[in-house]
Amino acid sequence: MSASPGSGVRRNLLPRLRGRLFHLWFLLSRPMTLGVRGAVFDRESNSVLLIRHTYVPGWQLPGGGVEAGEHMLQALERELMEEANIELTDAPELKSLHFNRQASRRDHVALFLVTQYRRLGDKKPDREIAEAAFFPLDALPEGTTPATLRRLAELFGGEVAGAEW
């Protein structure tokens, strides 16, 4: 018996289709979110950039979510510009990756150390950012978030990076 025309195509198509459907199901059932934060550090003044949002309390490192189709560095560049008028002039250093249980069961945050940058003027308050300013590491503002304090202790105080944000 000879195989019917197209049966080989069906045999090859079915596993590929099944693989694509499984991949789609996996993406829909197990979505992971990724965010970036930048510790923008001024060596001369031993200070770090912090921002204060209009919709959540506390001072924190600038950053935000990585959009679909966007690389982490692109997201960091975009967020630093949007939140603080900071332009990267060289590649930042990826320092750690953290699970952010407070955001969701699937959220992770990549922390970058930024030492090569250009400030393009003061950040004016808008609907998202109330303030953006540099603070000396030994004089952080009241209300600096616990996660921000942990990250700064890891970066500049020799603490071991924690798994959780």
- Distance in angstroms (rounded) separating the CA atoms of residues 149 and 28: 34
Q: How confident is the model at residue 19 (pLDDT cuts 50, 70, 90)?
A: low
Mean model confidence pLDDT for the chain: 89
> Would you state the pLDDT for residue 28?
62
Beta-strand pair 117-119/47-53 = unpaired
Q: Which fold has domain 32-156?
A: Nucleoside Triphosphate Pyrophosphohydrolase (3.90.79)
Angle at 14 between CA 13 and CA 16, to 5 degrees: 65
User: Is 115 within 8 Å of 95 (Cβ atoms)?
Assistant: no
Compute the average pLDDT of residues 135-160.
Answer: 97
The full DSSP string for 94-152 is EEEEEE-TTT-TTEEEEEEEE-SEEE-SPPPP-SSEEEEEEEETTSPPTTB-HHHHHHH
Q: What percent of the chain has pLDDT over 70?
A: 83
Read off the pLDDT of residues 93-135 as tens digits, 9 standing for 90 and up.
999 999 988 877 788 999 999 999 999 999 999 999 999 999 9
Identify which has the larger pLDDT, 16 or 158: 158
pLDDT of residue 33: 86
Q: Which residue has the tokens 């982490």?
A: 72
Domain regions of the chain by residue span: 1-30, 32-156
Beta bridge partners of 86: 119
Please choose, from the candidates 37, 35, 34, the residue with its C-alpha nearest in 3D space to the C-alpha of residue 113. 37
| pLDDT band (50, 70, 90) for residue 14 | low
